[in-house]
Structure 1
Amino acid sequence: MTQIGISLGGPLEHAHTCSRAGCRDEAQWALRWRNPKIHAVDRRKTWLACDEHRDVLAAFLTDRSFPLEIITVGELDD
């Protein structure tokens, strides 16, 4: 497999890595969110998630009532 990126923990073999602290698995999901107290309506932040951490990251955001959209990484704009 071709190496795509380098992280502090060594080479990665995929282009999208889960945003969960300590996870180096490939991300399949993009969680697009914003904090309405500090972000304009058109501003979105994106966290990436593997299958295992998708629900954990989504719960963190929804518990704070942040607007959230979950899409596949394949649906992300360049």
Structure 2
Amino acid sequence: MSPDATVPHVRDVAGLVCSAKGCGAVAVHALLWSNPRLHTEGRRKVWLACEDHREHLSQFLSARSFLRAVVGVDELDESHG
């Protein structure tokens, strides 16, 4: 899954993989983000992260003031996407 892909209607989280480049690990975190210059209020894009890449991806988004929340992939639903 590419870093800018969204995850609509998540039902089975077992097949989700980390969005970090070159990582194929199982995702356990969902980083909800938006770029206020591009996205409407309330819209959230999703990057997925394994345990090893959660902090790195969070820092990348935070440095740009894009990170809105970090939740477990099991908390994703159709509103996240």
Once the two structures are superposed, residues 14-45 of structure 1 have per-residue CA deviations (whole angstroms, 9 ceiling, x without a partner) of 41100000000000000010001111112110
Match of 1:74 in 2: 74
In structure 2, distance between residues paired with 1:48 and 1:67: 13
Number of aligned residue pairs: 65
Aligned pair in 2 of structure 1 residues 49, 33: CA closer, same or farther (>3 Å)? Answer: same
CA RMSD between the two structures: 1.0
In structure 2, distance between residues paired with 1:17 and 1:67: 19
Runs of at least 4 residues off by over 3 Å: none
Greater share of strand: 1
Give the unaligned 5+ runs of structure 1: 1-13
Give the unaligned 5+ runs of structure 2: 1-13
Greater C-alpha Rg: 1
The amino acid that maps onto 1:71 is V
| 8 Å contact kept, 2:31–2:67 | no
| Aligned residues with identical type, % of pairs | 46
Match of 1:65 in 2: 65
Q: Which has the higher contact order (CA 8 A, sep 6+)?
A: 2
| CA drift at 1:67 | 3.9
Alignment of structure 1 residues 1-78 onto 2, 5 Å: 14-78=14-78
